[in-house]
């Protein structure tokens, strides 16, 4: 689909100006400078009760001026007016649905099942693409070599607020740096912020998309899996996305329950990626270094989390917790703070549904 022009879209709400309300990216020609057609790019937006932000997100995709875009919106059964917003823009959507689901991860995979693009990405319903973003990604993409591209990102309350800052471009290359960035912070790595990442559909399918067992760290797990099977990111030193910071977002670094759950998902995601890396042909050269790091930092907790995410036997889970506390206390008790067991059991119940 050719992106619509500003005049073709619904008028912005009163008082809304700038990108992507009254500004648009220029329309590109149907072919690139070499005469070949632009690669098809599929964007998926998972959404649930993000009415205050959803329209801005949708417009930031549709106003890219790109001639070969495919846009899918998967809503989880919102009751806040989101569906009315989606219907307004439905003529320019490849597919949309609003129905109850099991969360963001399932919504992303559901959306990607409709993708036919050579390049794919998901954009959460409170984030934005910046002007020229899709053009910049397509221009930098080498169809024979690129499977994973990471650009630069802005962060702030709104795209035009005075607090906006641009994060430095990541530079991680190895399996260790990408999979275990949060365990090796002394290397001054910057993890990826999800909206700045694009992948080939081939790479997405090769690693099975995002894990629907995960509610917070599905993106970290995905980067680890991509690296585990040999994909290496290409870095684009241009701003392509905006990550919104607001009170109702999933990311809540001041919440101990959020941090406990995030840590659990990151550790299990690394364990799972390590299994994938060991079965790759050839495996990453630093696979043993990742294994040793995980063993030294969280061996006991890995056993607990594997039981939690794969078995769902609550009696056995409690026995594993006790065994870890007794025989691997340094890599188990570090994470077992007050109420953590209850939180893990609650999370396990959600995963098992």
319 against 39, higher pLDDT: 39
% of the chain residues with pLDDT over 70: 91
- Give the per-residue pLDDT at 335: 75
Rounded to whole angstroms, what are the CA distances from 149 to 40, 55, 98, 138, 240?
15, 26, 30, 10, 11
Q: How far apart are CA 127 and CA 158, in angstroms?
A: 9
Q: How far apart are CA 173 and CA 154, in angstroms?
A: 22
Query: Ranked by mean pLDDT, which of 126-130, 212-216, 348-352 comes out on top?
Result: 126-130
pLDDT in tens, 36-77: 999 999 999 999 999 899 999 999 999 999 999 999 999 999
353 against 300, higher pLDDT: 300
pLDDT in tens, 98-122: 999 988 999 999 999 999 999 999 9
Q: In the beta sheet, which residues pair with residue 149?
A: 198, 234
Domain-by-domain residue ranges, the chain? 6-244, 256-352
pLDDT in tens, 181-219: 777 655 677 888 999 999 999 999 999 999 998 888 999
pLDDT in tens, 215-274: 889 999 999 999 999 999 999 999 999 999 877 666 666 677 777 788 888 889 999 999
Fold of 6-244: Spore Coat Polysaccharide Biosynthesis Protein SpsA; Chain A (3.90.550)
- Give the per-residue pLDDT at 338: 47
Average per-residue pLDDT in the chain? Answer: 89
- pLDDT value at 344 more than 80: no
DSSP string computed for 50-91: -HHHHHHHHHHHHTT--SSEEEEEEE----SSHHHHHHHHGG
Residue 316: its H or E element: helix 314-327
- pLDDT value at 339 more than 80: no
User: Model's pTM, two decimal places?
Assistant: 0.92
């Amino acid at each position: 689909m050719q992106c619509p022009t500003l005049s073709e879209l619904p008028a912005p709400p009163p008082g809304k100006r700038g990108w992507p309300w009254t500004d648009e990216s220029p329309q590109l020609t149907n072919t690139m400078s070499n005469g070949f057609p632009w690669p098809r790019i599929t964007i998926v937006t998972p959404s649930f009760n993000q009415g205050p932000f959803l329209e801005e997100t949708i417009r930031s995709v549709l106003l890219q001026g790109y001639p070969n875009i495919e846009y899918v919106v998967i809503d989880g059964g919102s009751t806040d007016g989101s569906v009315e917003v989606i219907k307004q823009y439905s003529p320019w959507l490849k597919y949309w649905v609003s129905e109850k689901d099991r969360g963001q991860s399932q919504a992303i995979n559901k959306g990607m099942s409709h993708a036919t693009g050579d390049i794919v990405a998901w954009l959460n319903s409170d984030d934005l693409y910046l002007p020229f973003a899709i053009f910049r990604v397509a221009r930098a993409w080498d169809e024979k070599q690129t499977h994973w591209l990471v650009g630069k990102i802005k962060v702030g309350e709104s795209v035009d607020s005075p607090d906006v800052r641009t994060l430095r471009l990541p530079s991680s290359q190895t399996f260790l740096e990408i999979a275990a960035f949060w365990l090796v912070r002394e290397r001054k790595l910057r993890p990826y912020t999800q909206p700045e990442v694009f992948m080939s559909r081939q790479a997405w399918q090769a690693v099975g998309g995002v894990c629907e067992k995960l509610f917070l760290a599905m993106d970290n797990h995905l980067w680890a899996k991509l690296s585990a099977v040999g994909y290496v990111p290409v870095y684009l030193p241009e701003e392509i996305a905006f990550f919104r910071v607001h009170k109702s977002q999933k990311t809540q670094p001041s919440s101990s329950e959020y941090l406990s759950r995030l840590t659990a998902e990151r550790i299990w995601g690394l364990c799972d990626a390590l299994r994938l890396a060991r079965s790759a042909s050839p495996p990453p050269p630093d696979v043993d270094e990742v294994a040793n790091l995980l063993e030294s930092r969280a061996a006991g907790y890995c056993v607990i989390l594997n039981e939690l995410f794969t078995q769902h036997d609550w009696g056995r889970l409690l026995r594993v917790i006790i065994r870890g506390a007794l025989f691997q206390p340094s890599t188990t008790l570090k994470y077992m703070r007050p109420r953590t067991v209850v939180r893990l059991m609650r999370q396990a119940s959600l995963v098992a549904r």
